[in-house]
Structure 1
Amino acid sequence: LLKQVNLSKPCEAGNGKVMVAWVEDCWEVNRIPGFKINKKPEGLKTRFDLLIKTHCEDEVASMRKSGTSEDYTESDLLLTDMKARMDDFDETAAARKDNVKRKIDSIENSGALMRRMAMGNLDAQGRMKRQGRKRRIKPQVSIFHV
């Protein structure tokens, strides 16, 4: 489970795509011959969250025992790596949201500018038509032209 989650990074999936990523992880994990737990995607996500929470609690307890040598298993290293990546992703979330907001604002501003320009063109065309009517010279007919 940890290897698959580390590979696919479902926590970094876009908004509304997190559970889709967990469904894909569930398919991949259930295809592994040695994986005996048959869970739904929600169950795998809950299991992963529990593993991360337990790992963080163990890390805090371990830090309290300073001076002891520690043995790191592969799962500890994977959990530490994933927790660091998740924290980094959360820290940059505000910057990503700000960038998206700026893009949306610029799109709205450009739309307003385009509407103003279009209205300006329509006003200019209307003025030209009105001026054209005022300047229209009436044809003069004289007896000499006939």
Structure 2
Amino acid sequence: MLLIQAAADQPFAADKGQVTKAWQTLAETLMASDKFTRIVDAKKVQHRFGLLVDEHRKFDMASSRLSGVDEEETEKHMVLDDILSQLEDVKLLATAKQSATSEDKNTVEQDGVYVREMAMQTLKRRAEASKVGEVSKKKAASEGRRNSLLSTLEKEGERELALRDKELEFKRFKFESDLKQREYEREERKAEREHQLALARIESDKISTLLNAVLESRK
């Protein structure tokens, strides 16, 4: 019951600072059910969840079918398979957010350096121009060249920023595509597990029918 509720609520995907609250909510949901008879809190359910996940990471579904794991255990491992996939998605999303935040920060810092350099160059040129006692015509020509240079630098800066925006957009698109692919693969795995479970039930029913027939024949 803990695993099914955890897969539905996903407290492990809560935002930083809200994780304990999310697990406590799950604990209260469990205790509100008539089928759950234990007294638990956030710490207990989170610890139990971690143990089950760690145990499942070492579990081999193929060998379990050969060794005759019962239907209840098979369903438990199916839920744990989905949870492991969810945990991987949460980890991937956190890594992507951290990377995007770092890139945005670097972009802002680089843009700030670029703007400061342009300002310093402009001030330097103005200081040099003020020292030269040129006639109005030469001063106007110098001002025109300076404005032209500033315009060129501004356009270069705009192109650079546009390129960075496109790169960030591409990375976001790739990340979203990867998430969709993982969702598709998870659904495929789920369908396969349900198929295997159905086969296991059929096989179990056959064995049960056969045993009943043998017992009836001995009466």
Pick the TM interval, shorter chain.
Answer: 0.5 to 0.7
Structure 2 CA distance for aligned equivalents of residues 112 and 68 of structure 1? 65
**Any idea what SS the aligned residue of 1:22 has?**
helix
Structure 2 CA distance for aligned equivalents of residues 28 and 66 of structure 1? 33
Structure 1 CA distance for aligned equivalents of residues 66 and 117 of structure 2? 70
Which protein is richer in helix relative to its size?
2
Answer yes or no: is the 8 Å Cα contact 2:3–2:80 preserved in 1.
yes
Residues 67, 102 of structure 1: alpha-carbon distance in 2 compared, 3 angstrom cutoff? same
Answer yes or no: is the 8 Å Cα contact 2:3–2:79 preserved in 1.
yes
1:75 aligns with 2:101: no
Structure 1 residue 75, shift from structure 2 partner: 1.9
User: What's the C-alpha RMSD, in Å, of the aligned pairs?
Assistant: 3.7
Matches within 5 A, 1:48-87: 48-57=49-58, 59-60=59-60, 62-63=61-62, 73=72, 74-87=75-88
TM-score, length basis structure 1:
0.63
1:14 aligns with 2:15: yes
Quote the sequence identity (%).
23
1:104 maps to which residue?
Answer: 105
Structure 1 residue 49, shift from structure 2 partner: 0.6
Which residue type is aligned with residue 47 of structure 1? R
Question: Is there any run of 5+ residues in structure 1 with no aligned partner, and where?
Answer: 118-122, 128-146
TM-score, length basis structure 2:
0.45
**Aligned residues between the structures:** 133
1:5 aligns with 2:6: yes
Structure 1 residue 79, shift from structure 2 partner: 0.9
1:36 aligns with 2:37: yes
**Any idea what SS the aligned residue of 2:29 has?**
helix
Structure 1 CA distance for aligned equivalents of residues 54 and 12 of structure 2? 15
Which residue type is aligned with residue 24 of structure 1? T
Question: Is there any run of 5+ residues in structure 2 with no aligned partner, and where?
Answer: 127-219
